[in-house]
Amino acid sequence: MARIELQNITKAYGSVEVMRDIDLTIEDGEFLVLVGPSGCGKSTLLRMIAGLEPITGGEFLINGERMNEVPPRDRDMAMVFQSYALYPHMDVARNMGFSLEIRKSGSEERDRKVGEAAKTLGLTALTKRLPKALSGGQRQRVAMGRAIVRDPSAFLFDEPLSNLDAALRVEMRLEIARMHQRLAATMIYVTHDQVEALTLADRIVVLNAGKIQQVGTPLDLYESPANKFVAQFIGSPTMNILSVEQNSNGIQLKDGTVLQMAGTPDKDSVSELGVRPEHLNIVSPEKAHLSGVAELVEHLGSDTNIHAKVPGVGQVLVRQHGHYPLKAGEPVDIALDLDKTHLFDQKGRRLAA
Amino acid sequence: MRNFGKQSTVAVAGKYLALGFYVAFALFPLYWLAKIAVTPDKLIFTDGTALVPSSFTFENFRTVLLHTDFLAYFRNSLVVSLGTAAITTCIAAAAGYAFSRFDFRGKRLIIAAMLITQMFPLLMIIAPIYKIVAAVGLLNSLTSLIIVYTAFNIPFATFLMQSFFDGIPKDLEEAGMIDGCTRFQALRKIILPLTLPGLAATLGFIFTAAWSELLFALMLINSNDTMTFPVGLLTFVSKFSVDWGQMMAAGVLALVPSCLFFIFIQRYLVQGLTSGAVKG
C-alpha cells in the first residue's frame, strides 16, 4: 500500500539542473509508466524514488510522510533493474530470498515465499542454479521473483524488458500486466518503448529534457496530446506534421489547399497541423485534400503504410487497414479525417479546437 | 580438408615449440639454481657447465637447515611478507572501493599524488627513509620493513583493486541496498565475495614483492636476528669465498612459499565469478 507524491522535485548535478518542477501523485495500486526519449531523466526520476539518487529539491512523500532522506532499504520498495542485477554468487533461490535473509526472517517462511514466487514464475526447477546458467528470460523472471518475494508497498521497474528479444518481451509484458492485476500494488515503470507504455499503464507520464510534458491515460495522450512532442512520441507510426497558416477561409496548407474545419481557433497563431497516419484515407481524386505519388509502400499484412510525397507539402505517411493494392510510383489521393486533426502554435502547444 | 588438417598440425607444433622455447628460457636460471644446489661442493667447478651434475647430494640443504640461521631469516621474511601483503591489501581494497564508487573532493589530486610516488627510483629516497626510521627508533626491526613496504605498495595495489571493483556492476550493490542492506552490508555480502579473485591477485603480488625486496632490508636491518631472507643470503658470501652450494640450496627453499602461495590463490585468479551477474 503506497501513495507516492512528488512535489516540486528538482535534480541538479553541481550547477547543472537536469530536472525541475516535477509534480506527480501516484495513487495506491496505480500502474504509472514514465516514458520519454533517452536522456529525458526518466531513470533518474525512478532512482530518486528508489533512494539511489539524492533529491536536490522538493518534497518526496510516501503515504503522506516525507521520505527525501530515508535510505533505500527503509522505503519498502522493490526494484527490477534493466541489467537484472542478480547476485552472481548466489543460486536462484537465495537471490530471490536475499531480502528476507537480510531482514532476518525465519528460513521456513523464506522457503515458503520463495517457493510460491518460483511457482508463479515457472522457476521451480531452476532454484538451485546460479544466474550464469540461466537464459536472459529466466534471469528476468528471477529478478521479478526477487521483487515479488518481498511483498513491497511499491514496485519499481527500470526498463526491465529492453534486454530481451521481441517475442520474449511481449511474453514478459503480459507477465507484468498479470502481476499487477494479481498483486494490485503500486507500480512505477520506466521505458522508452511507447508500446509498453500504452499497453501496461493506467496513466503515462511523458518526459522530455527533464520536464513533464503531459500526464494522462494512454487514450488521453493519444487523442489529446498537450503538445507536438507528445503527439509525435505517442502513437506508431509517428503523427504527420504539416506546416499550415490560417487565413479568412480557414486553414491553408503550403500547397494552397484550404481545409474547412469546424470550430477552428480564432487566433492566427496556428502554425502546424498534425494528423495520424491512421486518420488519412486514400480516396478518389475529387474527394482528396492532397495529391501526390507513393514513394514507398510497406505491406505489414494487417496494415499497409504508404509513404507519399505531396508536392508543396512534403512527406506524408498514410496507414490503410488491411492489404492495400498500391505500388511505389503510382499516384495517390489522400483525404484527411478533419475531426481528428490537431493544430499547434509556433511553440508546439496544441490549440484546443 | 586433409590439407587444412596438416597445416593446422604444423601450426600447433610451431605454437608448442615457441611456448617450449619461452618456458625453457624463463626457467633455465631456476634449473641452474636447483642444479648447483644438489651438486656436491667439490664438483661445482670441475663439472663446469655440464647440464647434469655427475653426482647428487642433499648435503647442502641439510647444512642450510641445520647449521645456519636460514630458518630465522625465513621466518622473518614470512612475517614481513605476510604482514605487508595483509595490511596493504586491506588498505588498498578500502581505497580502491572508494575510488571506484564515490566522487569526493580531491579525488583526482590523490590519484595524481599516488601516481607521482610511482615515478621516483627508490634509490633516491633511501637516505631520507633511513633517517626517518632511525629517528623513530625502528632500525633493525621487522616493523620498519612492513611499514616501508606497505607505503611503497599501496598506490599500485589500490589501482589494481580499483580496477577489480570497477569490473563489478554498480547495479549489484544498489540491488542489495534496495533489498535491505546498508552500504556496508552490500559490500560485505555481495561485493566482497565477487572481489575474492582481485584480493587474491593483490595479496599474491604484494607478497612476492615484499618477499624478494633486498635494498631496504639491507639498509634498515643489520642484526642477524631480524635479517630477512634476501639479506641473509648475502651471509653465504664471506670475505674469502662464496658458498655456492648452500646459497643455491637456500634459494631453492626460498621459492617454496611463493610457489605454495600461488598454488593456493590460483583458483581464485582464474575464476570468472562475475559472469552471469548482468545481461550477456
Residue B262 lies in a domain: yes
B-interface mutation test, from A84, A104, A114, most B Cβ less than 10 A away:
A84
Contact B190, B172 (CB under 8 A): yes
Structural domain for A63, as ranges: 4-232
pLDDT, position B6: 61
Q: State the pLDDT confidence band at A199, using cuts at 50, 70 and 90.
A: very high
Q: State the pLDDT confidence band at A353, using cuts at 50, 70 and 90.
A: low
A123 reaches B (C-beta below 8 A):
no
Total structural domains within chain A: 2
**DSSP code of residue B120:** S
- Please tell me whether residues B19 and B107 are part of one structural domain: no
Contacts of A184 (CB under 8 A, 6+ apart): A29
Q: State the pLDDT confidence band at A267, using cuts at 50, 70 and 90.
A: low
- Please tell me whether residues B88 and B205 are part of one structural domain: yes
A87 reaches B (C-beta below 8 A):
yes
Q: State the pLDDT confidence band at A250, using cuts at 50, 70 and 90.
A: confident
Residues 90-119 (A) with a CB less than 8 A from some CB of B? 98-99, 102-103
Beta bridge partners of A157: A80, A189
Indicate the residue of B169, B185, B194 with minimum beta-carbon distance to A102: B185
Q: Which of A107, A90, A212, A102 is nearest to A143 (CA)?
A: A90
- Please tell me whether residues A65 and A194 are part of one structural domain: yes
Residues 152-191 (A) with a CB less than 8 A from some CB of B? 163
Domain of A329, CATH number, reads: 2.40.50.140
- Please tell me whether residues B35 and B166 are part of one structural domain: no
- Please tell me whether residues B76 and B183 are part of one structural domain: yes
Residue B275 lies in a domain: no
3-class SS at B205?
A: helix
* Distances, alpha carbon A263 to alpha carbons A65, A66, A149, A272, A339, in Å: 47, 47, 55, 16, 10
CB contact under 8 A, A83 and B190: no
Name every residue in B having a CB less than 8 A away from some CB of A: 169, 171-172, 174-182, 185, 189-190, 193-194, 273-279
With b for 16 or more beta-carbon neighbours within 10 A and e for fewer, the A114-141 pattern comes to bbebbebbebeebbebbbeebeebbbbb
- Please tell me whether residues B120 and B256 are part of one structural domain: yes
- Please tell me whether residues A210 and A247 are part of one structural domain: no
- Please tell me whether residues A214 and A245 are part of one structural domain: no
Structural domain for B181, as ranges: 69-270
Domain of A131, CATH number, reads: 3.40.50.300
- Please tell me whether residues B11 and B124 are part of one structural domain: no
Task: Please state the ipTM of this predicted complex.
Answer: 0.84
Residue B276 lies in a domain: no
Contact A199, A177 (CB under 8 A): yes
Q: Which of B15, B36, B57 is the last residue of a domain?
A: B57
- A152/A1 Cα distance (integer angstroms): 8
- Please tell me whether residues B44 and B95 are part of one structural domain: no
**DSSP code of residue B187:** I
Domain of B127, CATH number, reads: 1.10.3720.10
- Please tell me whether residues B132 and B89 are part of one structural domain: yes
- Please tell me whether residues A144 and A244 are part of one structural domain: no
Contact B211, B85 (CB under 8 A): no
- A222/A216 Cα distance (integer angstroms): 9
- Please tell me whether residues A250 and A204 are part of one structural domain: no
- Please tell me whether residues A224 and A242 are part of one structural domain: no
- Please tell me whether residues B38 and B160 are part of one structural domain: no
- Please tell me whether residues B189 and B122 are part of one structural domain: yes
CB contact under 8 A, A73 and B171: no
- Please tell me whether residues A71 and A220 are part of one structural domain: yes
- Please tell me whether residues B185 and B105 are part of one structural domain: yes
- Please tell me whether residues A298 and A327 are part of one structural domain: yes
- Please tell me whether residues A189 and A257 are part of one structural domain: no
* Distances, alpha carbon B176 to alpha carbons A72, A150, A216, B171, in Å: 10, 13, 33, 8
Q: Which of A204, A232, A260 is the last residue of a domain?
A: A232
CB contact under 8 A, A85 and B276: no
Residue B124 lies in a domain: yes
A72 reaches B (C-beta below 8 A):
yes
Q: Which of A199, A232, A265 is the last residue of a domain?
A: A232
- Please tell me whether residues A116 and A167 are part of one structural domain: yes
Q: What is the pLDDT along chain B (280 residues), one digit of tens a residue?
A: 455 556 688 899 999 999 999 999 999 999 999 998 998 888 878 877 778 888 888 888 998 888 888 889 999 999 999 999 999 999 999 999 999 999 999 999 999 999 998 888 888 888 999 999 999 999 999 999 999 999 999 999 999 899 889 989 999 999 999 999 999 999 999 999 988 888 888 888 899 889 989 889 999 988 888 999 888 888 888 777 888 888 899 999 888 888 887 787 776 666 544 444 443 3
- Please tell me whether residues B32 and B74 are part of one structural domain: no
Total structural domains within chain B: 2
Residue B279 lies in a domain: no
